């Protein structure tokens, strides 16, 4: 599954430098369809190691914090990382993250002023 996702991602990222005929127009239409599909599943611009380089885990951390708001509220304020991993990768479509990337990115939430920690602290205060 990961190999298929990677193949699709590479096909989308590959430039249209090779040909300028009707096949190229069809290819562009196909790429636009795939981009529309990615937009419809929830991730507008997935963070990739290629796109942000050394800042990958920081940017992924911010994107995860934004993404997890709705599932966190639906779950009553507590959600495990396995569920976040599954939901996020499902929404990403072809830009899958590894469990290690998720763990590193979520561990950075303490360093950033993110909604997730504020929400969890608020829920904790309500329980006290």
| Domain of residue 58, CATH code | 1.10.10.10
User: Does residue 67 surpass a pLDDT of 50?
Assistant: yes
pTM value is 0.55
User: Does residue 84 surpass a pLDDT of 60?
Assistant: yes
Contact by Cβ (8 Å): 74, 84 = no
Per residue in 17-58, pLDDT tens? 444 444 555 655 666 666 555 555 555 556 667 666 778 888
- Residues 87-92 have a mean pLDDT of 87
Per residue in 95-128, pLDDT tens? 788 999 988 888 888 777 666 665 555 555 555 4
| Domain count within the chain | 1
CA dihedral of 67, 69, 71, 73, whole degrees rounded to 10: 180
Range of the domain at 11: 2-127
Alpha helices per DSSP H over 41-110:
49-52, 56-67, 69-74, 81-92, 99-107
Q: Give the confidence band of 16 by pLDDT, cuts at 50, 70, 90.
A: very low
* 42 torsion bin: left (phi>0), alpha (psi -120 to 50), beta (else): left
């Amino acid at each position: 599954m990961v190999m298929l996702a990677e193949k699709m991602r590479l096909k989308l990222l590959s430039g249209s430098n090779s040909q300028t005929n009707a096949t190229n127009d069809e290819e562009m239409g196909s790429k636009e369809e795939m981009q529309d599909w990615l937009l419809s599943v929830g991730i507008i611009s997935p963070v990739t190691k290629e796109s942000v380089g050394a800042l990958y885990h920081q940017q992924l951390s911010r994107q995860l914090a934004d993404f997890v708001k709705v599932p966190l509220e639906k779950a009553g304020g507590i959600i495990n990382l396995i569920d976040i991993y599954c939901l996020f990768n499902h929404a990403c479509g072809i830009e899958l993250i590894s469990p290690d990337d998720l763990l590193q990115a979520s561990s950075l939430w303490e360093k950033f002023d993110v909604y997730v920690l504020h929400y969890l602290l608020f829920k904790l205060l309500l329980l006290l």
